[in-house]
Amino acid sequence: MTRHALSRRFRKFLPRTSIIDQPESLRVYECDALSAYRQPPLLVVLPEDIAQVQKTMRLCNELRVPVVSRGAGTGLSGGALPHAKGIVLSLAKMNAVLEIDAANRIARVQPGVRNLAISQAVAHLNLFYAPDPSSQIACTIGGNVAENAGGVHCLKYGLTVHNITALKIVTMDGTLITLGGAALDCPGFDLLALMIGSEGMLGVVVEVTVKLLPLPETARVMLGVFDSAAKAADSVTSIIAAGIIPAGVEMMDNLAIRATEEFVHAGYPRDAAAILLCELDGSEEDVVAQVKQVRRILEQHGAVETRLARDEKERALFWSGRKSAFPAIGRISKDYYCMDGTIPRKHLSRVLTGIQRMSDEYGLRVANVFHAGDGNLHPLILYDAGEPGELHKAEKMGEQILELCIQVGGTITGEHGVGIEKMGGMCVQFSDRERAQFHAVRESFDPQRLLNPGKAIPTLARCAEHNAMHVHRGELPFPDLPRF
Ligand SMILES: Cc1cc2nc3c(=O)[nH]c(=O)nc-3n(C[C@H](O)[C@H](O)[C@H](O)COP(=O)(O)OP(=O)(O)OC[C@H]3O[C@@H](n4cnc5c(N)ncnc54)[C@H](O)[C@@H]3O)c2cc1C
């Protein structure tokens, strides 16, 4: 079907302002934050309510037109990359907070509401929505659900999947279904959990009920300064082994620290090999006791300095550095490729050593800035897409980092999803049988495979090709690294 013919069909039930069909305007939607891959869609539609989403899905199902849902397009794995013969279904216009139920500590919101806007909407009630991706100023709750997003505070308060009680979904044939509810548990298969992290392949999220938590009485953040990344990493394991669950523990290495300081002047020591930001929250009494304990542990691990933010202003400043780290890296390199492997915490220093070794071998700089408490690594591989072969080199190196994560018992994504980016990693992490099961689940929702096709679950043929070219399951990318 041509663009204009399809556009005409949509005009029967969508306002003209909800259809984008001009080539220059479609360019805006050609990629998400994985900008190395670009593909303009056939058309973009922006429904304003659930009924319009349903009609959109029914039409696409009938005409066999692929549908890629899109929130804010901040995804880092190419999940919202359009299909050349498909539409992008943007949820941007469905951005209202529908209901705040303070007594039950829940809120019902539309999918296009920004993550941070939820906490802002309930702040006057001393409540907040806990999962806080660093992109929270822009990313949407619908995108968070599709990616099972994490953030600084997920170490203590859980990921998106732990903070959602119900979803309304429109399936590919236009049916509206409700998953979960106000109660803590529902009988039957847990389709709510299945939907969270399904990367827009099972349905379109059209309404989300989120849990709200009381704002802690107090929160303090401690900056630990280290002359070695390994010492910083080991102290993270010790903090948690001591029975303390900080609200967040984030780590940055020297390259990330310097880039961030240049950008936001957060007060980080430029010559440190690594810093840790450890936030403790709760009652005043508990926080005071935990601050002492954490300081002792950091010192035992050789911290050259520990600094407790003096007040709210300094606490916000310390966090502003961490939250601006990705854009800060964008200022020192033409391009960067953000990885997202998760490993058991105890292997942090070994894997960081492995990454450094790969960086030397490939001749590409790496900045590490990550959710250390969750063992969720974000090595940012710096490259220049203008240099022939550099993107390919960065991708090869990224794949090897993820394979190393699997080797130590980890996984190829902690929060950014698989998208198009980590299809190769899926071939390494899952067997043919396991991937066939994923396809079967998908087809039970969308038999024609029209929802976000070509993402997240590689076909058997693709994996056969990948495994012929790459390191095989169980084989170390760098054979001289210790096997864990
Ligand atoms: C600077 C920066 C920092 C980041 N930090 C973090 C972080 O700390 N933690 C983290 O988890 N992520 C982080 N991310 C990644 C990204 O912000 C998250 O993955 C976020 O959840 C994506 O939300 P979005 O609204 O932008 O979704 P999009 O990028 O638009 O879409 C992401 C995926 O969700 C699907 N989707 C979107 N909306 C819907 C819907 N309503 N129904 C069904 N499917 C849908 C899309 O098809 C796509 O597959 C970061 C990104 C950037 C650029």
Determine the pLDDT at residue 375. 94
Cα–Cα distance for residue pair 172/54, rounded to 1 Å: 9
Determine the pLDDT at residue 115. 98
Distance 300 CA to ligand 1 centre (A): 38
- Whether the CB-CB separation of 375 and 345 falls below 8 Å is answered with yes
User: Which atom of ligand 1 is closest in space to residue 32's alpha carbon?
Assistant: 29
Tell me the average pLDDT across 39-53.
98
- Whether the CB-CB separation of 118 and 139 falls below 8 Å is answered with no
Distance 472 CA to ligand 1 centre (A): 30
**Is the pLDDT at 128 greater than 80, yes or no?**
yes
Adjacent-strand bridge partners of 100: 107
pLDDT over 90 percentage in the chain: 90
More confident: 43 or 459: 43
Tell me the average pLDDT across 132-160.
95
pLDDT digits 0-9 by tens, 374-431: 999 999 999 999 999 999 999 999 999 999 999 999 999 888 999 999 998 899 889 9
Distance 337 CA to ligand 1 centre (A): 16
Mean pLDDT of all residues in the chain? 93
Alpha carbon of 30 to those of 6, 42, 147, 203: distances in Å? 18, 10, 19, 21
Q: Judging by DSSP bridges, how do beta strands 176-180 and 127-128 pair with one another?
A: unpaired
Distance 69 CA to ligand 1 centre (A): 11
Q: Predicted confidence band at 182 (pLDDT cuts at 50, 70, 90)?
A: confident
**Is the pLDDT at 160 greater than 70, yes or no?**
yes
Determine the pLDDT at residue 460. 83
pLDDT digits 0-9 by tens, 59-97: 999 999 999 999 999 999 999 999 999 999 999 999 999
Strands ordered across the beta sheet of 97-101: 97-101, 106-109, 204-211, 164-170, 176-180
Mutate to test the pocket of ligand 1, among 37, 134, 455 (most ligand atoms within 8 A of CB): 134
User: Which atom of ligand 1 is closest in space to residue 150's alpha carbon?
Assistant: 11
Q: What is the dihedral of CA 171, 173, 176, 180, to 10 degrees?
A: -30
Q: Which two tokens stand for residue 37?
A: 């891959």
Distance 339 CA to ligand 1 centre (A): 14
Cα–Cα distance for residue pair 449/86, rounded to 1 Å: 12
Determine the pLDDT at residue 36. 87
Q: In which region does residue 229 sit, left (phi positive, over 0), alpha (psi from -120 to 50) or beta (all else)?
A: alpha
Protein residue whose Cα sits closest to atom 28 of ligand 1: 73
- Whether the CB-CB separation of 309 and 318 falls below 8 Å is answered with yes
Mutate to test the pocket of ligand 1, among 31, 57, 68, 69 (most ligand atoms within 8 A of CB): 69
Distance 147 CA to ligand 1 centre (A): 6
Q: State whether the Cα torsion 319-322-323-325 is positive or negative.
A: positive
Q: Predicted confidence band at 44 (pLDDT cuts at 50, 70, 90)?
A: very high
Distance 135 CA to ligand 1 centre (A): 8
Helix H or strand E segment including 468: helix 460-469
Q: Is 457 exposed, middle or buried (0-12, 13-18, 19+ CB in 10 A)?
A: buried
Alpha carbon of 29 to those of 1, 129, 292, 467: distances in Å? 20, 28, 49, 32
Helix H or strand E segment including 263: helix 254-264
**Full-model pTM:** 0.92
Determine the pLDDT at residue 465. 83
Cα–Cα distance for residue pair 41/202, rounded to 1 Å: 20
| Residues within a 6 A CB radius of ligand 1 | 32-33, 68-76, 79-80, 91, 111, 133-135, 139-140, 142-144, 146-147, 149-151, 199-200, 204-205, 326, 415-416, 452
**Is the pLDDT at 315 greater than 50, yes or no?**
yes
More confident: 314 or 182: 314
Alpha carbon of 346 to those of 304, 357, 483: distances in Å? 22, 19, 14
Protein residue whose Cα sits closest to atom 19 of ligand 1: 75
pLDDT digits 0-9 by tens, 271-308: 999 999 999 999 999 999 999 999 999 999 999 999 99
pLDDT digits 0-9 by tens, 214-236: 999 999 999 999 999 999 999 99
Distance 139 CA to ligand 1 centre (A): 6
pLDDT digits 0-9 by tens, 442-482: 999 999 999 999 999 998 888 888 776 654 433 333 333 33
